[in-house]
């Protein structure tokens, strides 16, 4: 499973409006860095971020661990709303 689909599956399991979830990968200037941008509905932002950012940090940890097993690149995840 690639990192984008893993991130999308995790996010969709958390939100109510699954159709408004958008997850895309972008190239960065750094060689070993992957940027994943997550867009969710405004009403689902709290579910994805969590209290004190705990859920967002857990998502980053899971995706980073998956990357370490696969191609060992650093993953940055940006979460934003529509």
Query: What's residue 70's pLDDT?
Result: 84
Query: What's residue 1's pLDDT?
Result: 63
Q: Is 66 helix (H, G, I), strand (E, B) or coil?
A: helix
Per-residue pLDDT of the chain (82 residues; tens, 9 = 90+): 699 999 999 999 999 999 999 999 998 898 889 999 999 999 999 999 999 999 999 999 999 999 998 888 899 999 998 8
Query: What's residue 13's pLDDT?
Result: 95
Topology at the third CATH level for domain 3-81: GMP Synthetase; Chain A, domain 3 (3.30.300)
Query: What does pTM read for this prediction?
Result: 0.89
Query: What's residue 43's pLDDT?
Result: 93
Which DSSP string corresponds to 7-64?
A: HHHHHHHH-S-GGG-EEEEE--SSTTEEEEEEEE-GGGHHHHH-GGGHHHHHHHHHHH
Query: What's residue 35's pLDDT?
Result: 95
Listed residue (53, 33, 49) closest to 41, CA to CA: 49
- Write down the domain spans for the chain: 3-81
């Amino acid at each position: 499973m690639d990192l984008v689909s893993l991130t999308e599956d995790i996010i969709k399991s958390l939100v109510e409006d699954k159709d408004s979830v958008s997850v895309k990968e972008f190239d960065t200037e750094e060689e070993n860095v992957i940027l994943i941008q997550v867009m969710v509905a405004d009403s689902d932002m709290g579910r994805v971020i969590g209290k004190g950012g705990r859920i967002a940090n857990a998502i980053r940890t899971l995706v980073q661990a998956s990357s370490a097993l696969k191609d060992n690149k650093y993953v940055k995840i940006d979460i934003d709303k529509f």
